[in-house]
């Protein structure tokens, strides 16, 4: 027999050995549930596109599996049935208690077909055995019918102690449907395997020399869609916080390593029809089979989509009915850049086809985006005429801007709707002069084309824009006059003009400090806006109502108004629109004040997600909130990072005083806690001037001045400002401002050593806080609040609510990390000795004592510093710090930065707690 059979190739041992796990992998406990269920099923499948971590997860599971593990890494050569049979029997033989010698012999002789061979294997398997996991990695390499048929047969007849774990890019044809209904199978796909944001954070915390802030982490994971290969790339490339921003930019532009990977691993051997399909559809965010047919001018898109999905390409159904599909963000980016590079001439045509098809699908917004990219003014004109109002009602001002930029100026001026849309876009960008020019051009062009009656009504539309501009420029009387004129007749072009005019009136009351009138007017505006489904103005009014409630000190009410807004968004099934960020931000500010820091952070992050791509300037408020949260948590490095971002945004653009005051407040707090007197002094040199405190932002700005003087130990300059603010706040019923001003007054008098006056103010503040719920504003002044409150408790009678709040504030302030103090303690050897000598110190620290440097590093980590900052602080290279951290983690038996922070906190708090 040997004479006719060629002698087989030798077996490669590495194919039969589980690969070693590289260092620095992230454990993924959220997937353990599947690991524990492995012994209960015949088949488990990890199916995901290339690089999604299938092999790694299989290795991690193999290590945690209670029983034996046989491993076989497949390869194209294994489609040769004899070769496959030999590998398969060898893999099993190695792990069976008594092997399967007979089958092994038959496999080596190679005279049986593969199914017959596997029948022998099955016959030779014992009835009872300890659990065995047989891993077949890179299963997508198998396509031989006989081999796959034999495996199906094998699978139907395996004993219960054997589980087959298949890792495959494509869907394995192993009779899965049958096993699934019999609960004999587990399956994980790309969606489940993709890294979640917390996992990304944990992995980067583990492997990067710098702390990456949460906002960057979320942005990163949005761009990479949880794909671990891209994370490994980040681990190699990013060395600094700024480096992460560059990496993110690089991803956006098409990272060369990812491009090479996609070329080699994913598209290299695809048939040309498939490639053509991918390139024709890659410009769409999501698409259905009919849309794809329209784009490819073909008729087999449904079939193709199913094939692509099964074959493990980076594509996923996005709805449960599997009608809509989307490419993985990095894959879409790759395909688009290939298209731009290789067939740029196709782009306009594809965009145009997309615009047509999307209009037919009833998706005008997406259609407009493609018409913009096709640079087709005619189609844009049609879309704007039919849907421009809708875009405006839903706050799609950036989209409108892009559309209008492509229209010839004359076609704007001769169309009242386009003129109005243009003016609204420009006013939103605070380009008031240009907005006015367009309005005037429109007037010249249009007046003679309409009857007097019609023109009066068009003018009502125009006046609504002008009123909005006047209020934004702070010209209240002019704004009110324009509103009244605008409301005097029914507008002709945009139904929203009336609603906007009403909202301007409300704002005029608010700015003037007439909260009751402002509230009434906004409630009415909200009602009217809802009636005409103008979601943008409706949400705007709800945001304003919640700001009014905050100003009145009614934070719970503000929170309820926000709930109402969120419900409205849900009911109307609104997709992300910029005004939603306003609601979330105000909600975040309430949550920050209540010290619900995680929830506040979440609001800011969601806001950033909503505004993604609209330009950095709009993110100022979100970053101010994130900086406030980081400060309250004592994360010095993170806070410094956000403050840096705020500074560069402020340098690049101009903002309304409301936004400025908010950003300045957190910057001043940060500088104060890091004792950066120079920055505070500089700020005073360019600070927005003081104005009567009739509204919350003038109050905020005034308090910033006072805060700066207090930080510079010039209480005499802070005193008159605070006094005036207090008078104004009383006059206008700005309760929240009263509350905050009392806190600063308390600090002021404490510094002046006028203890009784300080306690009077603190008591007032505490009493107001019983209804406002304020916490954040107290904690903002730092550890000083502890002694002030303790003295108050000692010397004054507090009612029950006040006493409870004082206790809680003291407790929170004690837990709060004080930036400068944490550093001072680190460097003090006596303190370290003090910690080591304590009886309650963990044993581990006595047994593997840290070096002096490691102590320093530990407490700088605790102080919230990034590796980069620690390196700077200790004057060594960041890589040295990384080495210290590794050794420190090993000695303390920890794996994450968070654990180090926790441990340091508990050690330092033993001596640092007040």
CB atoms within 10 A of CB 147: 22
- Whichever of 61 and 855 has its CB closer to ligand ATP, that residue is 61
- Whichever of 47 and 288 has its CB closer to ligand ATP, that residue is 47
Residue 225 touches ligand ATP, criterion: CB under 6 A = no
- Whichever of 59 and 622 has its CB closer to ligand ATP, that residue is 59
Q: Judged by CB under 6 A, which stretch of 49-57, 551-559, 687-695, 795-803 contacts ligand ATP?
A: 49-57
Q: Which of residues 823-842 bind ligand ATP (CB under 6 A)?
A: none
Q: Answer for the pair 61, 325: CB distance below 8 angstroms, yes or no.
A: no
Query: Nearest approach, Cβ of 58 to ligand ATP (angstroms)?
Result: 8
Q: Which residues on adjacent β-strands are paired with residue 162? A: 132
User: What values do phi and psi take at 287, rounded to 5?
Assistant: -155, 155
Q: What's the rounded Cα separation, in Å, for the pair 129 and 112?
A: 27
Q: Which of residues 106-165 bind ligand ATP (CB under 6 A)?
A: 138
Q: Which residues on adjacent β-strands are paired with residue 73? A: 137
Which residue from 15, 38, 41, 51 is in contact with ligand ATP, where contact means CB under 6 A?
51
Closest by CA position to 704, among listed 752, 655, 662, 656: 662
Residue 749 touches ligand ATP, criterion: CB under 6 A = no
Q: What's the rounded Cα separation, in Å, for the pair 234 and 144?
A: 38
674 marked ligand binding residue:
no
Query: Nearest approach, Cβ of 268 to ligand ATP (angstroms)?
Result: 13
882 marked ligand binding residue:
no
Which residue from 86, 90, 169, 703 is in contact with ligand ATP, where contact means CB under 6 A?
169
List the structure tokens of 323.
Answer: 């009608």
Q: What's the rounded Cα separation, in Å, for the pair 550 and 658?
A: 14
158 marked ligand binding residue:
no
- Whichever of 50 and 512 has its CB closer to ligand ATP, that residue is 50
Q: Judged by CB under 6 A, which stretch of 44-52, 320-328, 352-360, 450-458 contacts ligand ATP?
A: 44-52
- Whichever of 56 and 280 has its CB closer to ligand ATP, that residue is 56
CB atoms within 10 A of CB 265: 13
Residue 172 touches ligand ATP, criterion: CB under 6 A = no
48 marked ligand binding residue:
yes
Query: Nearest approach, Cβ of 27 to ligand ATP (angstroms)?
Result: 7
Q: What's the rounded Cα separation, in Å, for the pair 131 and 39?
A: 7
Residue 192 touches ligand ATP, criterion: CB under 6 A = no
Residue 232 touches ligand ATP, criterion: CB under 6 A = yes
Q: What's the rounded Cα separation, in Å, for the pair 548 and 52?
A: 49
Query: Nearest approach, Cβ of 39 to ligand ATP (angstroms)?
Result: 22
334 marked ligand binding residue:
no
Residue 228 touches ligand ATP, criterion: CB under 6 A = yes
- Whichever of 169 and 457 has its CB closer to ligand ATP, that residue is 169
51 marked ligand binding residue:
yes
Query: Nearest approach, Cβ of 63 to ligand ATP (angstroms)?
Result: 12
Which residue from 10, 22, 477, 689 is in contact with ligand ATP, where contact means CB under 6 A?
22
- Whichever of 25 and 489 has its CB closer to ligand ATP, that residue is 25
Q: What's the rounded Cα separation, in Å, for the pair 853 and 530?
A: 62
Q: Answer for the pair 527, 518: CB distance below 8 angstroms, yes or no.
A: no
Q: Answer for the pair 38, 302: CB distance below 8 angstroms, yes or no.
A: no
The 3-class SS string of 254-309 reads CCHHHHHHHHHHHHCCCCHHHHHHHHHHCCCCCEEHHHHHHHHCCCCHHHHHHHHH
Can you spell out the DSSP letters for 360-415? HTT-HHHHHHHHHHHT-HHHHHHHHHHHHHHHHHTT-HHHHHHHHHTS-HHHHHT-
Which residue from 18, 25, 406, 690 is in contact with ligand ATP, where contact means CB under 6 A?
25
Q: What's the rounded Cα separation, in Å, for the pair 180 and 649?
A: 54
432 marked ligand binding residue:
no
Place of tokens 């990095």: 330
List the structure tokens of 789.
Answer: 């409150």
Residue nearest ligand ATP, Cβ-based: 53
3-state secondary structure of 524: helix
Which residue from 56, 89, 184, 316 is in contact with ligand ATP, where contact means CB under 6 A?
56
* Site residue total, ligand ATP (CB under 6 A): 19
Q: Which of residues 313-352 bind ligand ATP (CB under 6 A)?
A: none
- Whichever of 48 and 569 has its CB closer to ligand ATP, that residue is 48
Which residue from 38, 42, 55, 82 is in contact with ligand ATP, where contact means CB under 6 A?
55
What are the C-alpha distances in Å from 241 to residues 220, 481, 641?
13, 50, 8
Q: Judged by CB under 6 A, which stretch of 47-55, 501-509, 620-628, 668-676 contacts ligand ATP?
A: 47-55
Query: Nearest approach, Cβ of 530 to ligand ATP (angstroms)?
Result: 48
Residue 201 touches ligand ATP, criterion: CB under 6 A = no
- Whichever of 169 and 530 has its CB closer to ligand ATP, that residue is 169
Query: Nearest approach, Cβ of 746 to ligand ATP (angstroms)?
Result: 50
49 marked ligand binding residue:
yes
The 3-class SS string of 645-663 reads HHHHHHHHCCCCHHHHHHH
Pairing between β-strand 287-288 and β-strand 324-327 as defined by DSSP bridges: antiparallel
Q: What's the rounded Cα separation, in Å, for the pair 270 and 276?
A: 10
Q: How distant is the alpha carbon of residue 635 from its chain centre?
A: 19
Query: In which element (H, E) is residue 492 found?
Result: none
Which residue from 54, 370, 396, 595 is in contact with ligand ATP, where contact means CB under 6 A?
54
Query: Nearest approach, Cβ of 274 to ligand ATP (angstroms)?
Result: 18
Which residue from 53, 329, 364, 588 is in contact with ligand ATP, where contact means CB under 6 A?
53
In the annotated binding site for ATP, the residues are 48-55
Interface positions with ligand ATP (CB under 6 A): 22, 25-26, 28, 48, 50-56, 138, 167, 169, 203, 228-229, 232
């Amino acid at each position: 027999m040997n004479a006719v059979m060629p002698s087989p190739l030798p077996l490669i041992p590495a194919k039969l050995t589980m690969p070693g796990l590289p260092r620095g992998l992230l454990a993924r406990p959220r997937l353990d549930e599947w690991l524990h269920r492995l012994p209960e099923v015949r088949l488990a499948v990890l199916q995901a596109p290339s690089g999604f971590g299938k092999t790694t997860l299989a290795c991690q599971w193999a290590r945690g599996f209670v029983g034996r593990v046989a491993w076989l890494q497949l390869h194209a050569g294994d489609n040769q049935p004899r070769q496959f049979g030999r590998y398969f029997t060898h893999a099993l033989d190695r792990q069976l208690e008594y092997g399967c010698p007979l089958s092994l012999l038959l496999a080596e002789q190679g005279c049986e077909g593969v199914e017959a061979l596997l029948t022998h294997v099955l016959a030779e398997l014992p009835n009872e055995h300890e659990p065995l996991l047989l891993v077949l990695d890179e299963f997508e390499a198998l396509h031989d019918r006989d081999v796959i048929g034999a495996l199906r047969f094998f699978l139907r007849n395996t004993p219960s102690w054997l589980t087959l774990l298949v890792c495959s890019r494509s869907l394995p044809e192993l009779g899965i449907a049958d096993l699934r209904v019999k609960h004999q199978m587990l399956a994980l796909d790309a969606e489940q395997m993709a890294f979640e944001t917390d996992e990304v954070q944990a992995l980067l915390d583990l492997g990067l020399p710098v702390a990456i802030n949460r906002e960057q982490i979320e942005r990163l994971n949005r761009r990479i869609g949880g794909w671990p290969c891209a994370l490994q790339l980040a681990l190699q490339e990013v060395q600094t916080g700024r480096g992460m921003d560059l990496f993110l930019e690089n991803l956006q532009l098409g990272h060369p390593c990812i491009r090479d990977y996609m070329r080699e691993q994913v598209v290299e051997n695809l048939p040309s029809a498939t490639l053509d399909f991918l390139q024709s559809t890659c410009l769409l965010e999501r698409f259905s089979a009919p849309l794809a047919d329209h784009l490819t001018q073909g008729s087999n898109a449904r079939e193709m989509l199913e094939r692509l999905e099964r074959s493990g390409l980076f594509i996923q159904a996005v709805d449960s009915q599997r009608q809509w599909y989307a490419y993985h963000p990095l894959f879409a980016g790759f395909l688009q850049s290939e298209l731009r590079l290789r067939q740029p001439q196709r782009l306009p045509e594809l965009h145009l086809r997309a615009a047509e098809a999307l209009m037919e699908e009833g998706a005008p917004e997406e259609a407009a985006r493609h018409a913009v990219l096709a640079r087709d003014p005619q189609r844009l004109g049609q879309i704007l005429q039919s849907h421009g109002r809708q875009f405006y009602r839903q706050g799609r001002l950036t989209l409108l801007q892009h559309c209008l930029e492509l229209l010839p100026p004359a076609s704007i001026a001769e169309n009242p709707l386009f003129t109005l849309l243009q003016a609204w876009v420009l006013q939103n960008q605070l380009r008031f002069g240009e907005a006015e020019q367009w309005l005037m051009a429109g007037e010249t062009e249009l007046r003679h084309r309409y009857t007097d009656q019609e023109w009066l009504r068009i003018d009502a539309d125009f006046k609504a824009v002008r009123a909005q501009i006047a209020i934004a420029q702070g010209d209240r009387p002019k704004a009110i006059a324009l509103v009244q004129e605008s409301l005097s007749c029914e507008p002709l072009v945009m139904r929203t003009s009336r609603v906007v005019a009403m909202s301007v009136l409300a704002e005029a009351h608010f700015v003037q400090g007439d909260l009751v009138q402002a509230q009434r007017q906004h409630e009415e505006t909200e009602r009217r806006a809802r009636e005409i489904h103008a979601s943008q103005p409706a949400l705007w009014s709800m945001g304003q109502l919640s700001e009014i409630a905050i100003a009145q000190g009614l934070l719970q009410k503000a929170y309820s108004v926000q709930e109402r807004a969120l419900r409205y968004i849900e009911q109307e099934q609104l997709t992300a629109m910029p005004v939603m960020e306003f609601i979330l931000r105000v909600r975040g500010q309430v949550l920050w004040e209540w010290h619900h820091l995680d929830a506040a952070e979440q609001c800011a992050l969601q806001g950033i997600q909503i505004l993604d791509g609209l330009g950095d300037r709009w993110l100022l408020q979100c970053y101010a909130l994130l900086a406030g949260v980081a400060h309250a948590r004592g994360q010095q490095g993170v806070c410094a990072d956000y403050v840096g971002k705020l500074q560069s945004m402020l340098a690049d653009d101009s903002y309304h005083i409301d936004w400025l005051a908010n950003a300045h407040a957190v910057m001043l707090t940060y500088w104060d806690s890091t004792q950066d007197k120079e920055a505070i002094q500089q700020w005073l040199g360019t600070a927005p001037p003081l104005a009567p405190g009739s509204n919350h932002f003038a109050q905020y700005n005034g308090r910033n001045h006072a805060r700066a003087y207090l930080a510079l130990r010039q209480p005499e300059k802070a005193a008159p400002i605070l006094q005036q603010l207090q008078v104004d706040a009383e006059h206008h019923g700005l309760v929240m401002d009263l509350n905050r001003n009392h806190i600063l007054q308390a600090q002021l008098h404490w510094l002046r050593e006028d203890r009784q006056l300080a306690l009077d103010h603190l008591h007032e503040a505490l009493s107001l806080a019983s209804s406002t719920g304020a916490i954040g504003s107290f904690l903002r002044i730092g550890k000083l609040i502890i002694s002030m409150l303790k003295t108050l408790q000692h010397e004054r009678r507090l009612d029950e609510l006040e006493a409870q709040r004082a206790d809680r504030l003291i407790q929170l302030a004690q837990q709060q990390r004080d930036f400068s103090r944490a550093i001072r303690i680190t460097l003090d050897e006596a303190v370290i000795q003090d910690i080591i000598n304590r009886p309650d110190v963990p044993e581990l620290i006595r047994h593997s004592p840290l070096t002096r440097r490691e102590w320093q590093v530990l407490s700088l980590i605790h102080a919230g510093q990034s590796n980069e900052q620690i390196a700077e602080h200790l004057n060594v290279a960041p890589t040295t710090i990384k080495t210290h951290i590794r050794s420190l983690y090993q000695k303390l038996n920890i794996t994450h930065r968070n654990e180090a922070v926790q441990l340091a906190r508990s050690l330092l708090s033993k001596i640092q707690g007040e």
